[in-house]
Structure 1
Amino acid sequence: MPIIHFHLAEGTSSAAQERRLLIAASRLYAEVLQCPMDRVRAFVVPYERARCAVAGVMLDEGGLSAPYFEFLVLEGRPLETRQRLLTGFTDLVADLLGVEKALIRGHCKRVQPEEWCIGGRMAQELRKADIEAFTRRDIA
């Protein structure tokens, strides 16, 4: 389930920066969710500068780079976990891409286990033990 997309305007980061971001974000995701790395997926979604505006100013006309990220977690993950990912991904974007934190936006999308599949099988079945474990941690 751990999937993150970084939405970036082209030319605002180098391929090397994006590579470091994807690797660091994957590690953070696996660490925070306490899940195997093979479950993690991280993507950069590039946009032409002429198709991006920040505060009403087009990036190709001098607008500021303001990355956006979104990530998925199964419903039931504790708020503290989700917030740790939100702040962690923000810190990574700021540190690795050199973007002012105030310009970065992020969103956590919670997905019901019965609405997510892995290899054609429902997550509620495949990740039952995981779901029960983080639900118990949230109650404790």
Structure 2
Amino acid sequence: MPIVKFHLADKDISDDQIESVIEQATQIYAEVLDSPVERIRVFVDLHAPNLIGVGGKLVSKGGKNAPFFEFIVMKGRTLAQRQAIAEQFTAMLAATLNVDRAEIRGNCYTVEPENWSIAGSLASEIRKAEIEARANAAS
């Protein structure tokens, strides 16, 4: 279920940097949330520099490159986990894109399991089935 979307200026960014962001974000989620990597989704949205303003100045006209990310976790994840994800995403973007970390912003959305769909089924039902399957396997 973990999903993150990075909003980045399409300015001086290489395919290798994009690939690195995707790979590192996947690892961050997997480690912090103890999540299987196949459940993790990472999206990178590139925005034209003339459509991004920081402090009223367009990135295309010398405005600061200021990445923004949004990540989603299921309700029940701890504040410490959410903080670790935000911190690690920020550090990763700063290092990978050579951006001042003070310019990076992010937002965490928590979603109720009954409001999230996986393969057309509610996550609350899938979780229930997974818990029951583990209990039966342990018996």
Instruction: Give the structure-1-normalised TM-score.
Output: 0.89
Partner of 1:34: 34
Q: CA deviation at 1:127?
A: 2.2
Q: How far apart, in 1, do the equivalents of 2:70 and 2:5 lie? A: 5
Instruction: Note the residue ranges of structure 1 that are not aligned, 5 or more in a row.
Output: 132-140
User: Residue 35 of structure 2 aligns to a residue in which SS?
Assistant: coil
| Number of aligned positions between the proteins | 131
User: What amino acid does structure 2 have at the position aligned with 1:60?
Assistant: S
Instruction: Give the structure-2-normalised TM-score.
Output: 0.90
Instruction: Note the residue ranges of structure 2 that are not aligned, 5 or more in a row.
Output: 132-139
After superposition, what is the alpha-carbon deviation per residue over 1:7-51, rounded to whole angstroms, capped at 9, x for unaligned?
A: 001014211111111101101101111011100000110111111
User: What amino acid does structure 1 have at the position aligned with 2:29?
Assistant: Y
Partner of 1:78: 78
Partner of 2:90: 90
Identity %: 44
After superposition, what is the alpha-carbon deviation per residue over 1:40-63, rounded to whole angstroms, capped at 9, x for unaligned?
A: 000110111111000100111110
Partner of 1:135: none
Q: How far apart, in 2, do the equivalents of 1:8 and 1:128 lie? A: 37
Partner of 1:60: 60
Change (3 A) 1:129 1:72: farther
User: What amino acid does structure 2 have at the position aligned with 1:81?
Assistant: Q
User: What amino acid does structure 2 have at the position aligned with 1:96?
Assistant: T
Task: Please say which structure displays the higher CA radius of gyration.
Answer: 2
Q: Verify the 8 A CA contact 1:27 1:37 in the aligned structure 2.
A: yes
For residues 101-112 of structure 1, what are the structure 2 equivalents within 5 Å? 101-112=101-112
